[in-house]
Amino acid sequence: QVQLVESGGGLVQPGGSLRLSCAASGIIFRFIAMDWYRQAPGKERELVAGITRGGSTNYQDSVKGRFTISRDNAKNTVYLQMNSLKPEDTAVYYCNTVPRVDNYWGQGTQVTVSS
């Protein structure tokens, strides 16, 4: 059974930083590309960043230069380092495999950027 568990969210002031984690189980993690998504209130879920099994990365334009995705295959974990956070980054953040599998969605982790 595949399980993705996100953590690390919280309340942070504009300009602050957070590091999100997504722990995976039930998959051969090192062979699978991973993505981070987010969903803001009243909006569709959107792709934020991705990392291939080889470590190549890609980002949504709005987070380029501020967010960094990384992975630790020994820990079956993918990370999202978020710096220079803005109020518009407020959302629930989720991870998923590539290709995305709807049954794999976890509970997500809430990120709130507010003064």
Kindly indicate the confidence band of residue 58, based on its pLDDT and cuts at 50, 70 and 90. very high
Average pLDDT over residues 46-69: 97
Query: 78 - beta bridge partners?
Result: 22, 71
Kindly indicate the confidence band of residue 19, based on its pLDDT and cuts at 50, 70 and 90. very high
Check: CB of residue 106 under 8 Å from CB of residue 4. yes
Query: Pairing between strand 10-12 and 109-113?
Result: parallel
Check: CB of residue 96 under 8 Å from CB of residue 90. no
End-to-end CA distance of the chain: 40
Query: For residue 45, what pLDDT is reported?
Result: 97
Average pLDDT over residues 77-90: 98
Q: Which tokens belong to 113?
A: 């950027």
Kindly indicate the confidence band of residue 87, based on its pLDDT and cuts at 50, 70 and 90. very high
